Amino acid sequence: MTLSWGIKVLKERAENVHKILLRKRIINTSLKTLRDDKYVYFPVMAPIHVPGAELVRMEFPRRHTLNPKHKIKEELLKRVPKDVLDIIPDYWEVIGDAIVIKLPKDVYEYKRSIGEAFAVALNKKSVYLDMGVRGEFRRPNFELIYGEGGPTVHKENGVLYKLDPAKVMFSSGNIDERIRMANLNINNEVIVDMFAGIGYFSLQIAVHGNPNVVYAVEKNYDAYLFLLENIRLNSVDNIVIPIFGDNRTVSPEGVADRVIMGYLYDTHKFLKRAIEILKPEGGVIHYHDLVHNYGGIAEAQERALRTLERYGYAMELMFSRYVKSYSPNVWHVVLDMRVFPQ
């Protein structure tokens, strides 16, 4: 047992107080939260006044050192029937102070309790239920099942990304590719990011590389507003030039040493525009695509080459890799292609 400050609150107010403590990041996660018939006692790291709750000094049991999955299971057991645990997936995604989870419909009746368990175990503010994406802009179809939601700041490889998980996509599965882009030799290059989003690739390059300029083009207004904020957050205003609109009409032409095509849906249809963006002698294109297991990298390469030849260009494959599994039998791949007129 450890003597500590605690917040004593009636059970019916515990959820609201817990949200306040999470937001202030003051919960002592090394100690266990206690409950009796009437009250909940949250251990805190320092004296704090919370409206409608009482500051107390008391003994709390120490938590055993658990990995995150064990912590989540421990919290779930307090809130849902034991047989429900077997059908709750044991994976999740953390985006700043938010957690994104997928659940089978069989447990939707427990979704709020499940969200609370994840938030408590991982000490995060908000939990979203991922139900896919929708529309041209691939907007997240997320339901907030715990917490207040809203924008959060996610740090990755020294880069800050501000976003609202319910409005714009952020895939942790692409982290290796974002870091790879940050480590490219791009000294003094002019770069055009045709599908910039909130700055997924543009910011990594601007922060860690040494480009001359990065034109970041985005037509989703929600994503564009976060792109503007992220440029300021990372102090790369002198490097990244944001452009709002469809890259087929607003991108600069004939200027780029390198073009980033971080898009997955019929990407080859935008290759003509990528050629127009490159300098007349050509340059490098980072081409993302979806392929089937049976086709693999060769499927994407053949599709890209066929399209380039239609417009009088050839290509040399410099690098390729599988980025991540997209769905059963479908993979997200990337090709680094040096493109030049035939």
pLDDT tens digits, 14-66:
988 998 888 787 898 889 999 999 999 999 988 888 888 999 999 999 876 56
In this structure, the answer to whether residues 276 and 309 fall within a common structural domain is yes
CATH classification of the domain holding 144: 3.30.300.110
Out of 41, 60, 79, a domain closes at 60
In this structure, the answer to whether residues 308 and 214 fall within a common structural domain is yes
Look at residue 165 and tell me whether its pLDDT is greater than 80.
Answer: yes
- The per-residue pLDDT for range 185-234, each reduced to its tens digit, is 899 999 999 999 999 999 999 999 999 999 999 999 999 999 999 999 99
In this structure, the answer to whether residues 170 and 280 fall within a common structural domain is yes
pLDDT of 133: 82
Task: Name which residue leads in pLDDT, 25 or 178.
Answer: 178
In this structure, the answer to whether residues 322 and 179 fall within a common structural domain is yes
In this structure, the answer to whether residues 188 and 337 fall within a common structural domain is yes
Instruction: Name the average pLDDT for the chain.
Output: 93
In this structure, the answer to whether residues 292 and 333 fall within a common structural domain is yes
pLDDT of 66: 62
How many Å apart are CA 45 and CA 28, to the nearest integer?
A: 5
Task: Name which residue leads in pLDDT, 256 or 19.
Answer: 256
Side chain identity at 236, as an amino acid letter?
V
pLDDT of 241: 98
For the record, the structure tokens of 39 come out as 């009250």
Binning pLDDT at 50, 70 and 90, where does residue 67 land?
confident
How many Å apart are CA 245 and CA 342, to the nearest integer?
A: 31
In this structure, the answer to whether residues 114 and 228 fall within a common structural domain is no
In this structure, the answer to whether residues 226 and 141 fall within a common structural domain is no
CATH classification of the domain holding 34: 3.30.70.2580
Query: Are the beta carbons of 59 and 1 closer than 8 angstroms?
Result: yes
In this structure, the answer to whether residues 181 and 295 fall within a common structural domain is yes
Side chain identity at 186, as an amino acid letter?
I
Q: Residue 321: what are its φ and ψ, rounded to 5°?
A: -160, 155
In this structure, the answer to whether residues 225 and 327 fall within a common structural domain is yes
How many Å apart are CA 18 and CA 15, to the nearest integer?
A: 5
Those residues with Cβ within 8 angstroms of residue 33's Cβ, 6 or more apart along the chain or in another chain: 40, 41, 42, 43, 120
In this structure, the answer to whether residues 122 and 143 fall within a common structural domain is yes
Percent of the chain whose predicted confidence (pLDDT) is above 90: 77
pLDDT of 22: 85
Look at residue 91 and tell me whether its pLDDT is greater than 90.
Answer: no
Look at residue 86 and tell me whether its pLDDT is greater than 90.
Answer: no
Percent of the chain whose predicted confidence (pLDDT) is above 70: 99
pLDDT of 247: 96
In this structure, the answer to whether residues 334 and 269 fall within a common structural domain is yes
**Does the CA dihedral 12-18-23-26 come out positive or negative?**
positive
CATH classification of the domain holding 333: 3.40.50.150
Find the mean pLDDT for residues 260-283.
96
Out of 44, 60, 76, a domain closes at 60
Taking residue 118's Cβ as centre, other Cβ atoms within 10 Å add up to 24
How many Å apart are CA 273 and CA 260, to the nearest integer?
A: 12
Domain that holds residue 126: 68-150
Count how many domains the chain has.
Answer: 3
Look at residue 136 and tell me whether its pLDDT is greater than 80.
Answer: no
pLDDT of 64: 65
Out of 26, 43, 60, a domain closes at 60
- The per-residue pLDDT for range 99-135, each reduced to its tens digit, is 999 999 999 999 999 999 999 999 999 999 999 888 7
**Does the CA dihedral 77-79-85-90 come out positive or negative?**
negative
Those residues with Cβ within 8 angstroms of residue 13's Cβ, 6 or more apart along the chain or in another chain: 52, 53
